[in-house]
Amino acid sequence: MRRKYIMIEQRKNSMKKLLFVFNPHSGTGVIRKHLAEVLDVFTKSGYEVVAYPTQCSGDGINKIREEGAEFDRIVVAGGDGMLNELVNGVMSLPKEVETGYIATGTVNDFAATHGIPKNVIEAAKIAASDNVKAIDLGKFGDRYFAYVSAFGIATDVPYKTKQSAKNHWKIWAYVWNIIKCIGPNKFKAACRKMRVDAGDVVFNGEFIFGTISNSKSIGTLHILVDKKVELDDGRLEALFIPRPKKLREWFRLYKNLREQDFSHSKLMFVRTSELKLTMEKTAFTLDGEDGGEHEEITITAQKQALKIALPEPQLVTRDGEEIAVALSSMSKKERKKARKAAKKAERAEAKAQKRAEKQAKKEQKKQK
């Protein structure tokens, strides 16, 4: 008996430790429905798991800061707010800790950019996998963001929309609140005079909207980001949009944004590792969360600062040659094809599992 106890203790000591912090209310509570399965995935991947359901906003970051250094990997499940808590919590730790993310929010731009699946079990398998990559973060003053910092019209909608509305109406809760922001007076009120210093590029203007990002989509929109985004190059992409004064300017602006063409004379776009903004008091969001009001702020890229488990590279054909490409580096067409192939493989695996179960039942009946 003592020998068995010693063997169990040795096994426990050899296991890696994983802290799982999750928002139980995010996405209509989807993580609660699959909690046992998610924990089973982590355990089968060789982790001793500590699960912690957050009790309020900011609870996750406190848990990570207090106990995160004791773990080999920290995985969170929730929306953009939970992701932002993970990033800021991990960056405050005295040692480097690997991370993982299960997206259960409403929009999930970060997950879409990196190809993390919506299915929580599949996302859990990736979060526990060995395919860990180093990606860039943004630093906003003394805070961090995973994929976007923004200001201007409708940017406060994500954190001002009630959780109950998001759970019930999903993305339409955001759409309705965005519609409320539309109107000449609202646009005028959202404009901010600003000086932008990106080192080699300096400009002044009055802007209705702006983003500083490291993402392939913002608010599910690809039109607000450049086509040539690299997620680990140590640079951020910044887009500043002034308020068009004539209807013709609105149409031209929309056309350029839709085509991801930032050559419009009114659009200001820069790719940089550091950005200094001087402005009248302006409210910002960080990953869709309240970033406070500022009159001066320095925003910097933190090159490959976050180690996170991401999907395995997929084989794609380019110029007649098959190469392995990360989902985040694929074109829309390649990503669509990869998703179809993944779904086909999932269905085939499920069918094979059912056949195996039927065969096992038949053999059991024979033995009886």
DSSP assignment of 63-109 equals HHHHHGGG-SEEEEEESHHHHHHHHHHHHTSSS--EEEEEE-SSS-H
Where is average pLDDT lowest: 5-9, 74-78, 278-282?
Answer: 5-9
Q: Which residue type does 161 have?
A: T
CA distance between the termini of the chain:
34
The topology (CATH level 3) of 13-131+310-314 is Rossmann fold (3.40.50)
Q: Do residues 19 and 85 make contact, with C-beta atoms less than 8 angstroms apart?
A: no
Query: In which element (H, E) is residue 283 found?
Result: strand 274-286
Q: Is the pLDDT reported for residue 365 higher than 90?
A: no
Shortest CA distance to 105 belongs to which of 5, 200, 220? 220
Q: Are strands 16-22 and 47-53 parallel, antiparallel or unpaired?
A: parallel
- Compute the distance between CA of residue 208 and CA of residue 267 in angstroms, rounded to an integer: 11
Per-residue pLDDT reduced to its tens digit, 194-230? 999 998 899 998 888 888 999 988 765 665 677 778 8
- Any idea which architecture 143-303 has in CATH? Sandwich (2.60)
pLDDT at residue 165 greater than cutoff 60 = no
Pairing of strands 192-197, 274-286: antiparallel
Kindly state the DSSP code that residue 218 receives in the 8-state scheme. Answer: B
Closest CA to 194 of 293, 296, 279: 279
Whether pLDDT at 20 is above 90: yes
Sequential DSSP letters for 103-171: E-SSS-HHHHHHT--SSHHHHHHHHTSS-EEEEEEEEETTEEESSEEEEETTTTHHHHS-HHHHHHHTH
Lowest mean pLDDT among 42-46, 134-138, 286-290: 286-290
Lowest mean pLDDT among 119-123, 144-148, 156-160, 296-300: 156-160
**pLDDT at 290 exceeding the cut of 50:** yes
Give per-residue pLDDT as tens, 98-115: 999 999 987 788 998 898
Domain assignments of the chain as residue spans, ordered by start: 13-131+310-314, 143-303, 331-368
- CB of 271 closer than 8 Å to CB of 228: no
Picking from 261, 272, 171, 178, the residue whose alpha carbon sits closest to that of residue 222 is 261
pLDDT of the residue at 289? 85
Only one residue has tokens 């609202």, namely: 186
Contacts of 18 (CB under 8 A, 6+ apart): 42, 47, 48, 49, 50, 71, 72, 73, 74, 75, 128
Q: Name which residue leads in pLDDT, 244 or 97.
A: 97
Give the Å distances, CA to CA, from 38 to 112, 120, 121.
20, 8, 6
